[in-house]
Amino acid sequence: MKQVLPLLALLAAGTAVAAGPAGSDGKAPAKPALSAASAAAVPYAVANCFNCHGTDGKTSAAIPPLAGRDRVYIEETLKAYKSGAKPATIMHQLAKGYTDEELAVFADYFSQQK
Amino acid sequence: MSQEKEFTLPGNARTADDSLGQATVNSGRRRLLGALGAGAAIAAVQGAAFAAVRKPKSIGRVVIIGAGFGGATAAKYLRKWSNGSIDVTLIERNKQFISCPTSNEVLGGNRAYESLVHGYDKLGKNWGVKLVNASATAVDAEKRRVRTDTAGEFEYDRLIVAPGFDFNFASIEGYDEKARERILHAWKAGAQTLALRQQLVDLPDGGVYALTIPKAPYRCPPGPYERASQIAWYFKQNKPKSKVLVLDANDKIISKEKLFLGVWEKDYAGIIEYTPKWNATGVDAASNTVISELGDRLHADVLNLLPAQRAGDIARAIGIVNVNDRWADIDWITLESTALKNVHVVGDALSAAPLMPKSGHMANQHGKAVAAAIVEIFSGREPQPTLLANTCYSLVDDKRAIHVDSVHRYDPEKKQPLVVAGSGGVSSAPSVEEGLYTRAWAETIWKDVLA
């Protein structure tokens, strides 16, 4: 089942909403879409990545940091993991759990962390 | 939404303040700022990180019982994602956080015990969480109050229960308090981790170590197999005639089966002996003998018993244990108990969704999910389901590790998160690279939870 997470779609204002908002696959979001103005300010699901890459992508351990990295690099790398083009120990498996729109939101979020 | 209320119970404010130099100052300033009105306070905090002097008006109060991977994460992320506008009180009976993940390495002699031990102080200093070192003893759901043994009572708008698991010791007859002094579980990291390590060190070469595994679900599905691997590695280096007997109540190795079997065949042949469908239901402590459901008896020099598990006792006391008399059922959008309103559950204590392990990593994800839901609720928005991801790394010797991972997405029809088809999987083979990532994972998640 491919369903854009409603919240994320809203958060990605410029990207996901324009590309095809929540429910565009025929599946209505759990509730009538919230107005963008009332949507949460954080794409919460990005915290799926913090356990390994550090809170907000900040870490100095062996798993690479993501904070402040180039948005396009992060996004393209994630898509390459997802397609199998880029080999990895684990990211090729994790990336397959997210839609391309979500990966773009994550890339955007990390690129903006200082 | 709830307005800012002062804690009305004298024991509460005092204790919270006593235990926290920094937060004492903060809470005084918060009261002051609260009086200036919401607009001023919120404007002051917008865009700013947590400047200790700028406290927004409170939009609600959350009390959390238990500061493990789930509870402590929830505390931090409630503060972070509300820009400090949710009051968070974290009640924990232990003075320090002791990590179960990677504690098996201590048993193998591959990690210093001290590296598992972490303070809670940064949750106060960095995030303004009010830490209370006490044991929660009861909850008055009507009045929304938590009672503690030594720190008075605490009022909440929302309560998060994160007690982890407790053993059902009665599942192994004879495993009474006296027997437990010497026959250890070491399934909650701490004094027992060190004591079991000592028993292994004291064991003469040729001695036998036996580990029993309960039927799933239990905390950390690959944990027992990792433990067997770590101890086998230690024996191989130091006591090559010793044996590791694994007595598993399950039909087979329930996590990373092929990978563990591969390592055991290649590296620990003649050391590890694995027996499935061996359900330990009794112990004769005097003779160090474990007894199976079918009446088989097995003697070992070091016995390590893992009895059946269930939600932590406080969850039972509160009345939220409503699945098989063992686990707490929740709504998967808000992680709110289906038994009690305004009470949320995270971590091992909840009744897991399909293929969702009871792991520290997953508890951390629950903590973030519940924080997001409560921030949304207190902000007057509709909480949305969020994604959850799990990874369990296991160290199979002094250097190499393997993993299993999965991504879980809420299914509106089934009303629970399900593994995204095609996502996740296991390592192709044990590797040194993943050994390094495992240690990085541990360092990083400890910080994500506590700092």
CATH number, domain of B227, equals 3.50.50.60
Is B410 part of a structural domain of the chain?
Answer: no
Q: Does the pLDDT of residue A96 top 70, yes or no?
A: yes
The pLDDT value given to residue B56: 76
Q: Do B434 and A52 touch (CB under 8 A)?
A: no
Phi, psi dihedrals of residue B13, rounded to the nearest 5°: -60, -40
Instruction: Tell which wins on pLDDT, A109 or A42.
Output: A109
Is B227 part of a structural domain of the chain?
Answer: yes
Pairing assessment for the beta strands B401-411 and B388-395 based on DSSP bridges? antiparallel
pLDDT digits (tens, 9 = 90+) for B248-288: 999 999 999 999 999 999 999 999 999 999 999 999 999 99
The residue of chain B nearest to residue A58, with distances taken between CA atoms, is B444
Indicate if B193 and B110 belong to the same structural domain.
Answer: no
Is B279 part of a structural domain of the chain?
Answer: yes
Q: Which range, of A32-36, B200-204, B301-305, B420-424, averages the lowest pLDDT? A: A32-36
Task: Report the distance separating Cα B161 and Cα B174, nearest Å.
Answer: 31
Tell which residue, A114, A82, A112, has the closest CA to residue A12. A112
From A17's Cα to the closest Cα of chain B, the distance in A is 16
From A81's Cα to the closest Cα of chain B, the distance in A is 12
Is B107 part of a structural domain of the chain?
Answer: yes
Strand pairing partners for B158?
B62
Nearest CB to B405 within list A3, A34, A94: A94
Q: Do A38 and B81 touch (CB under 8 A)?
A: no
Q: Which domains does chain A have, with CATH numbers?
A: 2-13+33-111 (1.10.760.10)
Structure tokens given for B400: 């190499």
Tell which residue, A114, A2, A101, has the closest CA to residue A43. A101
Task: Report the distance separating Cα B156 and Cα B136, nearest Å.
Answer: 13
With 0-12 CB in 10 A as exposed, 13-18 as middle and 19+ as buried, what is B135?
middle
Q: Does the pLDDT of residue B6 top 70, yes or no?
A: no
The pLDDT value given to residue A19: 29
Indicate if B193 and B72 belong to the same structural domain.
Answer: no
Tokens 């009690």 sit at which residue?
A: B340
Indicate if B304 and B195 belong to the same structural domain.
Answer: yes
Task: Report the distance separating Cα A51 and Cα A73, nearest Å.
Answer: 21
> What is the domain count for chain B?
2
What does the pLDDT average to over B3-30? Answer: 33
Q: Do B386 and A90 touch (CB under 8 A)?
A: no
Tell which residue, B93, B87, B85, has the closest CA to residue B65. B93
Instruction: Give B348's DSSP letter.
Output: G
Task: Report the distance separating Cα B235 and Cα B210, nearest Å.
Answer: 13
Q: Do A93 and B405 touch (CB under 8 A)?
A: yes
In chain A, residues with a C-beta closer than 8 Å to the C-beta of B425 are 93
Instruction: Give A22's DSSP letter.
Output: T
Residue B358's SS3 state is strand
pLDDT digits (tens, 9 = 90+) for B60-96: 999 999 999 999 999 999 999 999 999 999 999 999 9
Indicate if B266 and B360 belong to the same structural domain.
Answer: no
Structure tokens given for B76: 């931090």
Indicate if B282 and B205 belong to the same structural domain.
Answer: yes
Task: Give CA separation, B161 vs B71, B84, B139, B165, B425, in Å.
Answer: 7, 21, 10, 11, 30
Structure tokens given for B366: 């629950």
Other CB atoms within 10 Å distance of the CB of residue B181 = 10
Structure tokens given for B116: 């598992």
Instruction: Tell which wins on pLDDT, B18 or B148.
Output: B148
Instruction: Determine the length of chain A.
Output: 114
Is residue B288 a contact partner of residue B183, using CB atoms and an 8 Å limit?
A: yes
Is residue B373 a contact partner of residue B331, using CB atoms and an 8 Å limit?
A: no
Is B211 part of a structural domain of the chain?
Answer: yes
Structure tokens given for B94: 């232990």
Indicate if B112 and B175 belong to the same structural domain.
Answer: no
Indicate if B216 and B297 belong to the same structural domain.
Answer: yes
B residues 73-132 closer than 8 Å to A (CB):
77, 81
In chain B, residues with a C-beta closer than 8 Å to the C-beta of A89 are 403, 427, 431, 433-434, 437
Q: Do A34 and B445 touch (CB under 8 A)?
A: no
Task: Report the distance separating Cα A95 and Cα A92, nearest Å.
Answer: 6
In chain A, residues with a C-beta closer than 8 Å to the C-beta of B364 are 51
Q: Does the pLDDT of residue B368 top 70, yes or no?
A: yes
Strand pairing partners for B425?
B405
Q: Which of B386, B414, B419, B439 to mutate to test the interface with A (most CBs of A within 10 A)?
A: B386
Q: Which of B259, B288, B308 is the last residue of a domain?
A: B308
Indicate if B186 and B278 belong to the same structural domain.
Answer: yes
Indicate if B74 and B137 belong to the same structural domain.
Answer: yes
The pLDDT value given to residue A42: 86
Is B40 part of a structural domain of the chain?
Answer: no
In chain B, residues with a C-beta closer than 8 Å to the C-beta of A9 are none
Tell which residue, B300, B293, B236, has the closest CA to residue B263. B236
Q: Does the pLDDT of residue B47 top 60, yes or no?
A: no
Strand pairing partners for B138?
B147
Give the percent of chain B with pLDDT over 70: 88
Q: Which of B260, B288, B308 is the last residue of a domain?
A: B308
The pLDDT value given to residue A40: 60
Long-range contacts of B194-201 (CB under 8 A, 24+ apart): B194/B106, B194/B113, B196/B107, B196/B302, B196/B304, B197/B106, B197/B107, B197/B109, B197/B113, B199/B302, B200/B107, B200/B231, B200/B234, B200/B302
Three-class secondary structure assignment of B272-293: EEEECCCCEEEEEHHHCEEEEC
Other CB atoms within 10 Å distance of the CB of residue B86 = 25
Other CB atoms within 10 Å distance of the CB of residue B347 = 33
Q: Do A55 and B425 touch (CB under 8 A)?
A: no
Write the CB contacts of B352 (distance below 8 Å, at least 6 apart in sequence).
Answer: B217, B327, B358, B362
Indicate if B287 and B227 belong to the same structural domain.
Answer: yes
Q: Is B179 on the interface with A (CB under 8 A)?
A: no
Domain that holds residue B185: 170-308
Q: Which of B382, B408, B429 is the last residue of a domain?
A: B382
Is B346 part of a structural domain of the chain?
Answer: yes
Is B413 part of a structural domain of the chain?
Answer: no
Q: Is B332 on the interface with A (CB under 8 A)?
A: no
B residues 383-442 closer than 8 Å to A (CB):
384-389, 391, 403, 405-409, 411-412, 420-425, 427, 431, 433-434, 436-437, 439-441
Structure tokens given for B290: 């474990």
Strand pairing partners for B136?
B148
Q: Does the pLDDT of residue B131 top 90, yes or no?
A: yes
Indicate if B266 and B181 belong to the same structural domain.
Answer: yes
| Cis peptide bond prior to B217, omega within 30° of 0 | yes
From A72's Cα to the closest Cα of chain B, the distance in A is 23
From A90's Cα to the closest Cα of chain B, the distance in A is 7
Instruction: Give B326's DSSP letter.
Output: T
With the CA atoms of A68, A73, A75 and A77 taken in that order, what torsion angle do they form, in degrees rounded to the nearest 10?
-120
Indicate if B139 and B197 belong to the same structural domain.
Answer: no
Q: Do A48 and B422 touch (CB under 8 A)?
A: no
Q: Which of A46, A51, A82, A96 to mutate to test the interface with B (most CBs of B within 10 A)?
A: A51
